[in-house]
A and B are shown apart, each in its own frame.
Chain A
């Protein structure tokens, strides 16, 4: 990509020192005088660039180091190794010019004041980010329209449903029109319809403002809908950085062949043989089979199926992205 990276991360690392002790009263008393600690490398040697306008999925299982990386990039944590530059700033120096151009949204935490109407929290953000009256009004009107907030902003945050509150959280976090968005599981716990709305909104904000977005989510629907590029991190180490579909072809050694029979077919003991001849029969009934085959044998198996069976339709597909990601996390495949 020709543009200058908006986020540039080089060999970033973070080691936490965490206390630990054995179970029991004796160990508790001993720990008061002799505290044992252990170093945990949450992030190690991670490097990547993100360009303006990109939406990048940041994937990894729980405890992979995603949130720690995001916290370092948003200036909350000091790394123990490496460098990063976002918008030309070193994030953990927490320059106000930088903080005024980025936002961090965490699906599991709220920044809206709980007991007061949402609009009062927005007023607070207006003062904090020094948003002019004209800009505030224009942006608020836009956000209200995009996210359908009209009936919500005069209610205290505590009276909103989870989905409503998340929409209000997002609107509040974007009032200052940030150029970099860190979204940490923004759709967690939301119903399907609300997840879709949030996704559509993020895509629209990105398209309209050209902001760079870094997104973590355990919902692959979020990633597939928004991210052409994904970065996969596991045990704090970067496993993959590239095209979402490239992730599937790189890490999945299998393809799925689905066939539909032209006439109902009773297996009659053929399935045992079929497993040997075609591959793993994932599902089978009178009208069709689904066969998982090694990628290199896809063409040969497809030919055999067409030759041996009364096939009306045959489809070859990559396995679902969830399956691939799960496999990557489970095996920890290195690039």
Chain B
């Protein structure tokens, strides 16, 4: 089987896209507006208080930066690929993907790339400049941050995959994916510690926003605990394994669109 590392860049060269400069320009405008809005929100909040759920102003900027990076990665590969996957189920072209001698989950997960989304991730560089905390630690801290970020991405990807796999039964799932995007886009920019317990639980174990954003950000703000690190890696393994099993079960339900 071709390795994912070989397939993924090939897909990257075969991304679905329109005129690149125009998309990048729109991406830059979008990232700038988001940046300004979020900075305004943070400024307003911290004019009233010194700390938000235990997070300082600098910590929160780091968190927003991490959220931007995660959003950029999701928006570059997984979101467009999952959208393409859902469309292919509806149109019946998923047949072609299943008849290829490679892992169907891999192909479905990386089949479309939206390079303009790197603007979101790249835009987060601005946030780092604002953050005193981000520049304070290197070496192990950054390594731990990257590992936690990867683990968090694995969890969010697994969650998206499970949601998308339901298309084998329900075919049209665009709205559910929209709900996920809205929740991730809005709740993810705030530390989960500020939410009530029930919502915190949901954003931790059902929609794993806490693991994708809050905990990696804690690696940079110095608020990380050993327990959180262990839990993140353990849950990443559980999410990946469970989503894999669910995918395999779901794919057996595929009947294709009628000829």
Residues of A at under 8 Å CB distance from B? 16, 66-67, 71, 74-78, 94, 96-100, 102-104, 106, 108-111, 113-116, 120-121, 123-124, 127-130, 184-185
Contacts and interface: CB of A to CB of B under 8 A. Distances in A.
Given A77-B256, A97-B101, A116-B15, A123 B10 contact: yes
Interface-centre pick from B7, B93, B100, B258 (highest chain A CB count, 10 A):
B100
Contact of B100 (A110, A115, A128): A128
Contact of B7 (A67, A74, A128): A128
B16 A124 contact: no
B53 interface: no
Contacts of A78: 252
B256 A76 contact: yes
Contacts of B259: 66-67, 106, 108, 184-185
Contact of B99 (A75, A114, A123, A124): A75
The residue among A66, A109, A111, A114 with the most chain B CB atoms within 10 A of its own CB is A109
A71 B95 contact: yes
B16 A94 contact: no
B96 A104 contact: yes
A120 B99 contact: no
A116 B14 CA distance: 7
B96 A109 contact: yes
Given A109-B96, A116-B14, A116-B15, A128 B255 contact: no
A16 B11 CA distance: 34
B16 A109 contact: no
A78 B248 CA distance: 13
Contacts of A120: 13-14
Nearest to B97: A111
Given A76-B256, A127-B2, A113 B98 contact: no
Contacts of A115: 16-18
| Most chain A C-beta atoms within 10 Å of own C-beta, residue among B7, B11, B99 | B99
Contacts of B95: 71, 74, 76, 104, 106, 109
B10 A124 contact: yes
Given A114-B16, A115-B16, A116-B16, A127 B93 contact: no
A99 B2 contact: no
A129 B7 CA distance: 10
A129 B101 contact: yes
Nearest to B257: A109
A123 B99 CA distance: 17
B6 A109 contact: no
B254 interface: yes
A121 B14 contact: yes
A103 B6 CA distance: 22
Contacts of A184: 259
Interface in B10-36: 10-11, 13-18
Given A71-B95, A109-B96, A110-B93, A128 B14 contact: no
Nearest to B104: A94
Nearest to B251: A94
Interface string B225-250: 00000000000000000000000000
B68 to A, nearest CB: 27
Contacts of B2: 127-128, 130
A187 to B, nearest CB: 15
Nearest to A107: B259
Contacts of A129: 100-101
B91 interface: yes
A123 B2 CA distance: 13
Q: Which 3 A-B pairs have the closest CB atoms?
A: A111-B96, A67-B259, A96-B101
A99 B14 CA distance: 22
Interface in B59-96: 91-93, 95-96
A99 B16 CA distance: 25
Interface string B91-122: 11101101111100001000000000000000
A115 B18 CA distance: 7
B255 to A, nearest CB: 6
A127 B6 contact: yes
A94 B10 contact: no
Contact of A124 (B14, B252, B255, B256): B14
